[in-house]
Structure 1
Amino acid sequence: MRPRPVWLVVLATALPMFMATLDNLVVTGALPVIRTELGGSLETLQWVVNAYTLAFATLLLTASGLGDRIGRRRVFVGGIVLFTAASAAAALSTDATTLILARAVQGVGAAAVMPLSLTLLAAAVPPARRALAIGIWGGVSGLGVAVGPLVGGAVVDGLAWQWIFWLNVPFGVLAVPLALVVLRESRGPDRRLDPLGLLLSAVGVLAVVYTVVRADAEGWGSARTIGGLVLGAALLVGFTAWQRRAAAPLLPLRLFRSRGFSAANATAVGFSFGMFGAVFLLAQFLQVVQGLSPFEAGLRTMPWTLAPMVVAPIAGILTGRVGPRPLVAAGMVLQAGALAWLAAVTTVDVSYGTLVPPFLLAGVGMGLTFAPIATAVITGVSDADHGKASGANSTLRELGVALGVAVLTAVFTANGSYAGGQAFVDGLVPAVWIAAGVVAVGAVGALFLPGRRPTPVAVEPPVVPVPA
């Protein structure tokens, strides 16, 4: 079979990613409208966001493992179908409970799309053009980040909130046949399921993410928070121990012998924690403190959100020439500097012109980070392990996002509040300083990424457990 054009492969794998990214961001901006029309408490409506996040983060590793066993394209397409159907159900919801259930199902579909998108892309593109393809894929996927605040703002400013979900339906209808025609089916070397590994990983991640999401409301020192974190940690330690013994492990621990894989994941956690935790608060600053409408705030963040679309494809091209290390390190340094800049200049009456340079710097840094990290994750392991590697990376990044939002919100709450502009800034500034520090630590981790030609980890036979 003749190889498909790179642009067509990128479109087939990135379009579903665009749907999932766009939908997650626009819902946050549309919550006020949804609350007005459907009713419900503020805590109930928070679950419109949290239901998606929990299902998504919990099942990423499970979905990639199932893809290795029963077919990556099959699970990927199934995820698109599920996400599209759940989007229609969300648009038709007449109460908050139904909407929350639909959002949870969307999260399940997105969990099948996210890790397998990169795996299928890597399998369909020759190694010589893989870095370029991943760069374009990152730019297209980043479009959801760029237009998400704008679409969400337009909804809040007067459009029917149902359209944030109806928009997914035509994308899904196009994405399914495109994936079936363009992408080839592939599987991992392990065809047997690891049911205990699936259970331990899913419940462990669920316990950690749920506890972190609820920690700000429950209190970080409360018995529920401590108990939830201890339970999640115990389950994940049990998962790690089982993976050493499993005949067909869901996540072979030998992958972490790859310096590129380990360093890329550590850097990705720092990136997700710092940047997305800070964005969560900074996006609110423009509305709460400066009185802008959601749409106006979305427009003003464009220097930040559009830059990755331009920079990511360029970074993808350069990755094949210079390797991921200098690009990711530079990107993380730019992002840490941008956050420190924002923390230093943010006041109640700061002018928009003062914010544009650090916004742009942060966007360029994100563009330099997206594609090279994805490249480092899969080129540091064998082709047969791409699905497992991508699933692990996606899971760790989502844990970083959840931790970043929760921890930085706790810092914000300890130092400020929503009581007024100055109170908001008093909480925002220390939180952004901490975000800058975490991203700076991630920049140090990026120095351990491989050079231009990372060596894949050799595939070793699985260790069969010996009965006691």
Structure 2
Amino acid sequence: MRKMVTQRRKWLILIVVSLGLFMDLLDMSIVNVAVPRIMLDFGADMNITAYVITAYMVTIGIFEPVTAYLADTLGLKKIYILALIVFTLGSSSCAMSWSIHSLILFRILQAIGGGMIMPLALAIVNKTFTKKELPLAMGLMGIPLLVAPSLGPTLGGYLVEVHNWRWIFWVNVPIGITSMLLSHILLKEFETVRKKLDLRGLILSSIGFASLFLAITNGSTDGWTSFKIVSLFIMSAITLLLFFALEPITKDPLLDFRIFNTRVYSAALFVTFLLMVYLFGSLYLIPLFMQQLRNLGPFASGLILIPEFLGAFITLPLSAVLLPRIGAVILTVTGMILMILGIYPLTHLQVITELHSVEMHLFVIGCGLGLSIMPSMTLALSALSEELVNQGSAFLNLVRQIGSALGVSILTSVIDQRAHYYMQTIKENVSASNTIMLVGQFMSHFQAVGYTLDQSKQLAVAYAISFFQQQASVQAFHDAFGVAMIASFLGIIPALFLYKKGDKSG
């Protein structure tokens, strides 16, 4: 296939595949900002509305393991275009949904296509470019991988505030149609193989990964030790243990275990997982802090993330150029050190911190992400034989999805639990005299602007409570940023194994 594709056509294919990938990844972060408006529009409570996000993740857990089989047997081009069609159809259906239940149903349809787009896109690029060309191609492909999730909250906030939440789904339609048509024109079909569907593996993996995603996405709200979440984790553990035990002895396995024989690929799985915890954690924490504690709107809080993707935009091509010269270890470790340096000041972030200071730290984080995120994925897929690329790409993307979901869920739990802890600490440690003094200061302020004594007293007490709650929340966010920083620290360990024989870094 590589020999049959001209140089010009290769780069056109990269652009088209990146367009589809951008659409898919944008959707992962653009929907979150619309949840409050969706609740209001449909008169739904938070528990049912949460399934707009949860149903999407669970569906990915069911369908992503079978992606490689479909691509291997039916054709990579055919399944990729089908994934674009399903995702685009699901997006337009979501935009036209008439109830919260119909929206959840159409999100499931959207996820069937969305879950397959990225692993298929990675496989297409890996099979189109030569080993020598692949680092640059993957580096450029990494731009939508980082830019789309960063841009999602900004674009989503704008569409929700200026238009309405339905536009976060309509925006996918023209991109999807364009991607379909250009993919049909530019892509040539890849080789296929004949093999039976591993139905047992499909059932076990579907139950296992769906249960895992359901537990992860609901753990922060239902409680990690609740009967429901513990039961889901147990079900996931049992079915996935059976899946991983039986696949190596299955004739035509859904997951070919030969992909794990490659050290670089296995190391890349851990690096990707921890990077996704960090990436989606940082994309989640900053807008949440700005909206909850600084009262910024979704659009304004999303704009603060722009320096992060600008930093990534600068260093992603640089990492592609440097990868063949200095190897993945130096690039990935350097990137993670930059990520640590960028997020450490955020562990001391205050409500009064200047926004330009926050943006500067996010720029450093973006530079680090740009250096570290693509080398591991590039080496992971290039280390596999061509027959295993579809398998490797699908499982790598599944790990990426688990990391992103777990990152958001864990950090949500950290904020909720630590805010409660710090509020209790404040209650125990702040003296009555200090509280009375604070209330007195607030009363004086309200009386000075024209409120009566009784009104000033009520407002002062409310403001004092709000002040203590704000202090507790700020400290909780500090802990959450610290957890994200730990993920980056941990990522350095598997990154040390991202070398090939002959690498200068190895």
User: Could you tell me which residue of structure 1 aligns to residue 343 of structure 2?
Assistant: 339
Secondary structure in 2 matching 1:128: coil
Paired-residue identity, %: 28
Deviation at 1:434, TM superposition (A): 1.5
1:131-165 C-alpha deviation (Å, 9 max, x unpaired)? 11111111134332232122111123221222111
Native 8 Å contact 1:149 1:295 kept in 2? yes
Q: Please say which of residues 12-21 and 415-424 is displaced more in the overlay.
A: 415-424
1:39, 1:16 → 2: CA distance? 33
The reply to whether residue 401 of structure 1 matches residue 450 of structure 2 is no
Deviation at 1:314, TM superposition (A): 2.0
The reply to whether residue 40 of structure 1 matches residue 44 of structure 2 is yes
User: Could you tell me which residue of structure 2 aligns to residue 358 of structure 1?
Assistant: 361
1:235, 1:190 → 2: CA distance? 27
The reply to whether residue 280 of structure 1 matches residue 253 of structure 2 is no
Native 8 Å contact 1:70 1:191 kept in 2? no
1:86, 1:346 → 2: CA distance? 39
| Aligned alpha-carbon RMSD (Å) | 1.9
Deviation at 1:56, TM superposition (A): 2.1
Native 8 Å contact 2:207 2:236 kept in 1? yes
Secondary structure in 2 matching 1:139: helix
Native 8 Å contact 2:220 2:409 kept in 1? yes
Deviation at 1:452, TM superposition (A): 7.2
User: Could you tell me which residue of structure 1 aligns to residue 254 of structure 2?
Assistant: 250
Relative distance call for 1:218 and 1:117 in structure 2 (3 A) is: same
Correspondences of 1:253-332 after superposition (within 5 Å): 253-332=257-336
User: Could you tell me which residue of structure 2 aligns to residue 367 of structure 1?
Assistant: 370
Deviation at 1:2, TM superposition (A): 4.3
Deviation at 1:82, TM superposition (A): 0.3
Native 8 Å contact 1:212 1:406 kept in 2? yes
1:415-449 C-alpha deviation (Å, 9 max, x unpaired)? 11697432321221112112211210111210111
1:126, 1:274 → 2: CA distance? 31
For 1:91, the aligned partner's letter is A
Native 8 Å contact 2:149 2:283 kept in 1? no
1:453, 1:55 → 2: CA distance? 41
Relative distance call for 1:267 and 1:314 in structure 2 (3 A) is: same
Deviation at 1:76, TM superposition (A): 0.8
For 1:269, the aligned partner's letter is F
Relative distance call for 1:440 and 1:9 in structure 2 (3 A) is: same
1:183-216 C-alpha deviation (Å, 9 max, x unpaired)? 2222465633211112211211111110121122
2:502, 2:108 → 1: CA distance? 40
Relative distance call for 1:319 and 1:34 in structure 2 (3 A) is: same
1:217, 1:160 → 2: CA distance? 27
* Count of equivalent residues: 453
Native 8 Å contact 2:283 2:305 kept in 1? no
For 1:375, the aligned partner's letter is T
2:415, 2:37 → 1: CA distance? 25
Relative distance call for 1:184 and 1:380 in structure 2 (3 A) is: same
Native 8 Å contact 1:69 1:193 kept in 2? no
- Look at both structures and tell me which one has the larger radius of gyration over its CA atoms: 2
Deviation at 1:284, TM superposition (A): 0.5
2:472, 2:7 → 1: CA distance? 55
1:380-417 C-alpha deviation (Å, 9 max, x unpaired)? 21121111111111111111122222222212111116
User: Could you tell me which residue of structure 1 aligns to residue 244 of structure 2?
Assistant: 240
1:188, 1:316 → 2: CA distance? 30
Secondary structure in 2 matching 1:416: helix
User: Could you tell me which residue of structure 2 aligns to residue 157 of structure 1?
Assistant: 161
Native 8 Å contact 1:321 1:452 kept in 2? no
The reply to whether residue 11 of structure 1 matches residue 33 of structure 2 is no
Deviation at 1:299, TM superposition (A): 1.2
The reply to whether residue 441 of structure 1 matches residue 470 of structure 2 is no
1:176, 1:4 → 2: CA distance? 21
In the superposition, the TM-score normalised over structure 2's length comes to 0.86
For 2:407, the aligned partner's letter is G
User: Could you tell me which residue of structure 1 aligns to residue 112 of structure 2?
Assistant: 108
2:153, 2:227 → 1: CA distance? 36
Native 8 Å contact 2:275 2:373 kept in 1? no
For 1:114, the aligned partner's letter is M
Unaligned runs of 5+ in 1: 455-468
The reply to whether residue 203 of structure 1 matches residue 252 of structure 2 is no
The reply to whether residue 226 of structure 1 matches residue 230 of structure 2 is yes
Secondary structure in 1 matching 2:213: helix
The reply to whether residue 423 of structure 1 matches residue 472 of structure 2 is yes
1:37, 1:323 → 2: CA distance? 51
In the superposition, the TM-score normalised over structure 1's length comes to 0.92
